[in-house]
Structure 1
Amino acid sequence: MPILLRFLMGVTAASLTCLAAAQPSASEKESPPSGNAASQAASSGVAGAPPASAATVPVRKWLSPIPRVYGRLSAKDVGLVINEDDPYSVQVGAYYAKARRIPADQILRVSLPLKPGLTPQEFEVFSKKVDEFYGSRVQGLALAWKQPFSVDCNSITGALALGYDGRLCSKTCDKSRPSSYFGSISTRPYKDHHIRPGMLLAAKDVDAAKALIDRGVRSDGTLGLRGAPPVDVHFVTTSDTVRSVRQVFFPPAGPEPKVGLNVFLDQTDALRNVDRVLLYMTGRATVEGLDSVSFVPGALADHLTSFGGKLDDPHGQMSVLSWIDAGATASYGTTSEPCAHVQKFPNPQVLLLFYIQGATALEAYWKSVMWPQQGLFVGEPLAAPYGR
C-alpha cells in the first residue's frame, strides 16, 4: 500500500471520524433525504465526539512523505464513448477525438436514452458493452455527453469504475465502496486496480464544451516552468461550517516557489476579483462571484454540497457546470445526498499534490476521492498543466 494512502487512511480513521460520519438523525431516517447536507449533518455526529466545525482551526502542515509519481495517462490510454442518439454527444465527441487525437479503435459508439439517470438494467447493458469493447486496452474513459449522469443513486462515473452499488441507494449517507486508486502512485489504473476512471465532457452547450476541451489542450505543460509567473491556489472556508469540513485538510498558506504556487487560505463566502487561479476549493450550496474569477487553463474547482453532480434540474444548489462555465477545466460533485463525509469529496492536498507532479485532471481528481461511488467527475480528462 502506498505511503500516502496509509497515511491518509490513518488520518481519516483516527482523527476525522466526527467529521466524516455525518449521518441523518433518527427522525430524518424515517423520511426521504432533504437534499441539504448541512441540515442533515449539523444535527448529527458520532456519539461522544465533538461536532464538526470549521471554526476549530487545525495545525496546518503538508502531507508527508509524498510518493513520487512517474508518467501520466495519454490519448492512447483513454477510451472515448459517444452516444449516437445525442446530437451534443456526437458533435462534442468528434471535436474531442480530433483535439486529443484519440485513435479510431478507441472510440465506442453506443445508443443511450437522453435522460438524467439510467436504470440499473440499462446500465448493465451499457457497462457490458464498455467492457467487451475495451477489455484491458484503455485505462480511463471520456464520456461525451451531459446526460445520463447517474445510475439510480450512483454517479455514472462511479458505477463504471466500481460497479453499480444498489445497496447505497436505500441509505445514501452510508459509507460506500473505497477506491483502491485513492492516493495511488499507479499510472495504469485499470491494469493495477481494475478501475477505469471516467470523466464527462459536460458543459452547458456544444460551444461551451468545445471551449472546455480547448482549455484542457492549451494547458498541457504550461505551469511550473522556470521564470514563469506563479499561479494561485485558493482553499476557502465559508460561513457554512458543515460544507467547510474539508478545511481540516488545508495546507499552510504561503508561496511555494519550487512549483510556482501561491497558496491562500481564504475565509469568505465567495472569492471576487482574483486572477491566475489554478485551484478553487470551497464548501457552499451556491458560489457567487465566479464571473470575477480568472482561471488558468487546466484549473480545477469544486464545492462541497449535496447535489453538485446533478446536472439536469434546479434543486436550489449550484451544479459543477457553473464551474465549467466560469472557466474551470475540471470539477466534481455528487449525484445523490452524500452527507458531509469528507471521503466522498476530493481531498484538497491529495488533489493538488498529484496534479503538480504532472498527473492529468482525470488522475488527480480520481486519486483524491476515497469513496467516489456517488461522485461525478466532469471536465477534460487529459489536461496536464504540469505534465512534461
Structure 2
Amino acid sequence: MSFGIRRRFVASAACALAAAAGQTLASGSGENIIIIADPLNAESMYVANYYRAARNVPAENVLYFSPGADDYQAFVAWNLKALETLIAERGIQNQADYIVLMPGSPFYIDAPGLVSDGCSPVRRFSISGAYSTAFVADEVLGGVSSNFNNRYARNTFTMVRFDSETTYFAGSPSSDPNAQRYYIGAMLGYTGERGNTLQEILDNVDRSVAADFTRPAGTFYFCETSDQTRSAPRHNTFNNVIAQIESQGGAGSHEFRQMPRNEDDVLCVLTGAAVLDIPGANMTILPGAYADHLTSYGAMFDNQNQTKISDWIREGATASVGAVEEPCNYAGKFTHARSMVYYHQGASMGESIFRALNFTPFQGLLYGDPMCRLFDYPVTVTVQDPPTDPASGGVEISPTGQTDKPGNFVFDYEVVVDNRRMDADFALPLEVDTTQLEDGWHDLRVFGYDTSTIRSLGVWQGELIINNHGRSAELASVSGTSGDLSTTFVFDARSVAGGTGAPVEIRLVQHDRVLAAASGCEATLEVAGVQLGAGDSDIHAEALFADGMRVRSAPIRVSVDYTEGTPGGSVPDVFQSTVWVGDATEAFVSVPYLFDDASDALTFEIIDAPAQAAIVAGPDGPYRLLRPDGQASGFDVMTYRVTASSGQSAVGRVVLVYDRHPLDIDANGSFDLEDLYAIHAAPADANLDGVVDNADVRFLEATLRCGEARDVSSR
C-alpha cells in the first residue's frame, strides 16, 4: 500500500470512527485553529509563530500562502481550493473550525455585483467573512441577497456548539437540504494605516490567552445613544439580554451614553456612534472583553473617517467587529447583543459572535482573537501509562478527566495523532492503530469533553514514536538554534531504513512545509531565519520513502529574533524535492529555496510546467496549486527559478509522484537492492536531477551505505 494514499485513508477512517461513536465534537481549542500566514511577509510569519505557540496550535494547522486575492471569483478558485486541499492532505478536516489570518493580509476582498442590496451596494467582503463563507461560495457566486441567512444563528439564548463539519439550519444541526456549513473566520490584526502596531497585536494575544477560564467579575455595558442610525438596530434588545446575563449570575448595564466612563470593570461595550474618544472615557477594558460601535467605516482602514475597531484593541479589548465598507444598517448584519449571553455561558469569542449574527458576514470583519474563552471552565485530562517506547500495532490510551463546572463531568474522549482523529468514544480505552500511520515521531493529544451544551474540553499532550517498519529519522543542529532573520541554520539530517527499502529523499520540514531537501538518506541542510519566521519554530528531519511514507525525527526548537541582521548578499539557492500526489484531484506544492534577506522582494518563476498537471492560476509565491490530469501516472517534473536583487538562482526541481516513484524500478513499493542493481546495470538519472553523471554514482553509493548496507559490485 502506498503511504501517499494511506495518509488520506486515515482521515476517512477517522470520520467512520466518529460516526460509530455517535458524536459531533465541539470546537474551542488550539487544535481547531487553522493559521494562514504569508511566507513572504516577515510580520505575518512572526505573528503566526507567536500565536501558534500561545494557543498550542498543532504544526499541521499552519498553512503558508498569501490569504488575499484580486477579487472573490479568484479567491474561490484559488484560495478556497488551496485551503480545502491542504486540510485534506493533512487529514485535519475533523478539527478545522477557525480560520485565523495573520497581519500582512488584506482586510477585504473585492466582490462587486454578487450580493444585492436595495439600500447600499455591496462591493467588498471582509477577509474574515470570505473565509467564513467557504462552504456557501457557489451560492454566493450565483448571486444572493445581503440578508442571506446565517443558518448557524438563532434568536434564542441557547448556545449550540460550533463544528465546521456540521450542517446547520435555523440554528440547529440538521440534515435539511437547506442546511449549511461554515468556518469562523477572523483577522488577528492589521498593521497597515489606521490598524494596530505589531506590539499591540502581540499584547492582545497575550491578554486573550491569559484571560481564558478566569470568569472575572465585571459588567457588560450596552450603550443606547442618540445616533438612531447606529444605535437603533440593536438597542431594543438590551434589556432582555441584560436580564438573561443576570439570570446566569453576571452583571449588565443599559447605559444612555456613548460609552461607560471612569468604570474599571468593562467586559463589553456595545454602542452606536461614528466617532468615539475611547481613551478619554477613562475606563478599564478587562482582558477578554468585546467592544464595537456599529458604524459605517469601523473596519474600512483605507478611509480616514470615523473611529476604527483597532482603537478598541489598542485600549484592551480582545475582539471587535466592524464593516469594511458602508453597509445598510439592517440589524442582522451586526453583532447582536445576545452574543454576550453565549460568551458568558462559556462559548468562545468567535462562536458567540457568529451564533448571534443573523445574516451571513459579508461586510463585517471579525477582528482580534476568536478563541478567547473568558467564561469557560477548564477541563483537566490525564493519561495513565502513556506510550514511551517505540510502538507498533495497536496502542491503548486510557485517559481520565475532571472539570470544575457545576453539575457537569467529563464524559467522552478523543485521541488524535498529528491532529488527525484516531478514535473517539466514551468507552475506554481508546485505541490508536499505528499501522495506519508512518514510522517515526508524532504529536499525540487526547481530548476530554464535558457534558455541558458548550462541550468544554481539555487536552493532554505527549508524543508517540512508531516503529512498524524499522524506519527512523534523526536531526542534529550544526550551527546552533538561535539567531535572527538573516541567520543560516545548519542541520545534519539522516534516516535509517531498517531493511525495508532505502529513503529516496531527506529534508527539513517546518509545520508540514518542506524547507530544504536532498536525494538519498543523509545530508547537511540549511534554512534561513526569515524563512522560518521570527519566534519559535519546531524543525524536523523527514525521510521520504518510495512507497510515500514520510518518517520524521523528533523536533528541534529554533528561536529567531525579529531583527533583520546582516544578510550575506548571495543569490537564492534552490533544491530538488519530491511531492507525493497520488490520486488527489489537487495538490499544493511548496518550492523550497534558501535566502537570508528579509528586505528583498523575491519572485518565483515556473520554468517548465508539469506535463500531466495544470497550474491553477493564482499567487506566484513559493508554492503552486496543481490540478493533475485524470489519467496522470508515473511521475512528473516541475522546474522553477527564484530571483532576488542579488541575482537569479539555479533551476530547482519538484518531482511529482502520481502512482510509483521513479526509483522503484520493479514497482514493488520499495527502493531496494533490486532497483539499485537495475539502475547500476543501465546508467540512469538515479538522483533525478535531470542529468546522468557521476553524481548518480555517488547517490547510489550513499544509498547503499544507509539503506540496504550492501555493495552492488559484490553481486
Q: TM-score normalized by structure 2?
A: 0.41
* Alpha-carbon distance, 1:166 to partner: 6.0
Structure 2 residue 235 is matched with structure 1 residue 217: no
CA 1:289/1:209 → structure 2, altered by over 3 Å: closer, same or farther?
A: closer
Q: Is the 8 A contact 1:270 1:288 kept in 2?
A: no
Match of 1:182 among 153, 163, 177: 153
The match for 1:103 is 58
Is the helix fraction higher in 1 or 2? 1
Question: In the aligned structure 2, how far is the partner of 1:339 from the partner of 1:167?
Answer: 21
Question: In the aligned structure 1, how far is the partner of 2:245 from the partner of 2:85?
Answer: 45
* Alpha-carbon distance, 1:290 to partner: 3.4
Q: Is the 8 A contact 2:26 2:161 kept in 1?
A: no
CA 1:121/1:308 → structure 2, altered by over 3 Å: closer, same or farther?
A: same
* Alpha-carbon distance, 1:283 to partner: 0.6
Question: In the aligned structure 2, how far is the partner of 1:146 from the partner of 1:354?
Answer: 31
Q: CA RMSD in A?
A: 2.5
The match for 2:609 is none
The match for 1:161 is 132
Is the strand fraction higher in 1 or 2? 2
Given residue 82 of structure 1, which amino acid in structure 2 is its aligned partner? Answer: A
CA 1:363/1:104 → structure 2, altered by over 3 Å: closer, same or farther?
A: same
Q: Is the 8 A contact 1:71 1:359 kept in 2?
A: no
Question: In the aligned structure 2, how far is the partner of 1:108 from the partner of 1:72?
Answer: 19
What is the aligned-residue identity percentage?
27
Structure 2 residue 344 is matched with structure 1 residue 356: yes
Q: Is the 8 A contact 2:297 2:303 kept in 1?
A: no
CA 1:112/1:198 → structure 2, altered by over 3 Å: closer, same or farther?
A: closer
Q: Is the 8 A contact 2:36 2:67 kept in 1?
A: no
SS of the residue corresponding to residue 271 of structure 1 reads coil
SS of the residue corresponding to residue 333 of structure 1 reads strand
Given residue 101 of structure 2, which amino acid in structure 1 is its aligned partner? Answer: L
The match for 2:229 is 242
Question: In the aligned structure 2, how far is the partner of 1:286 from the partner of 1:94?
Answer: 35
Of 271-280 and 337-346, more deviation after overlay is shown by 271-280
Q: Is the 8 A contact 2:67 2:105 kept in 1?
A: no
Kindly tell me the number of residue pairs found equivalent between the two proteins.
306
Given residue 145 of structure 1, which amino acid in structure 2 is its aligned partner? Answer: P
The match for 2:38 is 83
Question: In the aligned structure 2, how far is the partner of 1:239 from the partner of 1:94?
Answer: 44
Match of 1:314 among 303, 311, 318: 303
Question: Aligned ranges for residues 41-190 of structure 1 at < 5 Å?
Answer: 72-112=27-67, 118-124=70-76, 125-135=78-88, 136-137=93-94, 138-145=96-103, 147-152=105-110, 153-163=124-134, 165=140, 175-183=146-154, 185-190=160-165
Question: In the aligned structure 2, how far is the partner of 1:208 from the partner of 1:144?
Answer: 13
Q: Is the 8 A contact 2:211 2:373 kept in 1?
A: yes
The match for 1:251 is 239
Question: In the aligned structure 2, how far is the partner of 1:328 from the partner of 1:298?
Answer: 6
Question: In the aligned structure 1, how far is the partner of 2:82 from the partner of 2:27?
Answer: 26
Structure 2 residue 344 is matched with structure 1 residue 373: no
SS of the residue corresponding to residue 366 of structure 2 reads strand
Question: Aligned ranges for residues 321-360 of structure 1 at < 5 Å?
Answer: 321-349=310-338, 351-360=339-348
CA 1:255/1:341 → structure 2, altered by over 3 Å: closer, same or farther?
A: closer
* Alpha-carbon distance, 1:374 to partner: 1.2
* Alpha-carbon distance, 1:128 to partner: 1.3
The match for 1:302 is 292
Of 200-209 and 250-259, more deviation after overlay is shown by 250-259
* Alpha-carbon distance, 1:190 to partner: 3.6
The match for 2:197 is 205
SS of the residue corresponding to residue 317 of structure 1 reads coil
Q: Is the 8 A contact 2:224 2:271 kept in 1?
A: yes
SS of the residue corresponding to residue 283 of structure 1 reads coil
Match of 1:262 among 251, 259, 274: 251
User: Which deviations, in whole Å up to 9, do the C-alpha atoms of 1:241-279 show, x marking residues without a partner?
Assistant: 110011011125579666452211111133321111111
* Alpha-carbon distance, 1:288 to partner: 1.6
CA 1:290/1:368 → structure 2, altered by over 3 Å: closer, same or farther?
A: farther
User: Which deviations, in whole Å up to 9, do the C-alpha atoms of 1:330-383 show, x marking residues without a partner?
Assistant: 11011122111000001102x011111111111111111111111110111210
The match for 2:268 is 279
* Alpha-carbon distance, 1:112 to partner: 4.9
The match for 2:431 is none
* Alpha-carbon distance, 1:218 to partner: 0.8
If asked which structure has higher relative contact order (CA below 8 Å, sep 6+), I would say 1
Q: TM-score normalized by structure 1?
A: 0.73
Given residue 308 of structure 2, which amino acid in structure 1 is its aligned partner? Answer: S
CA 1:112/1:385 → structure 2, altered by over 3 Å: closer, same or farther?
A: closer
CA 1:260/1:118 → structure 2, altered by over 3 Å: closer, same or farther?
A: farther
CA 1:156/1:168 → structure 2, altered by over 3 Å: closer, same or farther?
A: farther
Question: In the aligned structure 2, how far is the partner of 1:374 from the partner of 1:324?
Answer: 19
SS of the residue corresponding to residue 264 of structure 2 reads strand
Structure 1 residues not aligned, in runs of 5+: 1-69, 225-229
Question: In the aligned structure 2, how far is the partner of 1:262 from the partner of 1:191?
Answer: 33
CA 1:344/1:249 → structure 2, altered by over 3 Å: closer, same or farther?
A: same
Q: Is the 8 A contact 1:144 1:201 kept in 2?
A: yes
Of 282-291 and 256-265, more deviation after overlay is shown by 256-265
Q: Is the 8 A contact 2:147 2:332 kept in 1?
A: no
Q: Is the 8 A contact 2:220 2:268 kept in 1?
A: yes
Question: In the aligned structure 2, how far is the partner of 1:131 from the partner of 1:254?
Answer: 42
Question: In the aligned structure 2, how far is the partner of 1:197 from the partner of 1:261?
Answer: 26
CA 1:258/1:223 → structure 2, altered by over 3 Å: closer, same or farther?
A: farther
Flag the structure with larger Rg: 2
* Alpha-carbon distance, 1:151 to partner: 1.1
SS of the residue corresponding to residue 130 of structure 2 reads helix
Q: Is the 8 A contact 1:277 1:299 kept in 2?
A: yes
* Alpha-carbon distance, 1:298 to partner: 0.7
CA 1:186/1:257 → structure 2, altered by over 3 Å: closer, same or farther?
A: closer
Of 248-257 and 77-86, more deviation after overlay is shown by 248-257
* Alpha-carbon distance, 1:289 to partner: 3.2
Structure 2 residues not aligned, in runs of 5+: 1-24, 111-123, 168-179, 191-195, 378-715
Q: Is the 8 A contact 1:308 1:320 kept in 2?
A: yes
Q: Is the 8 A contact 1:255 1:263 kept in 2?
A: no
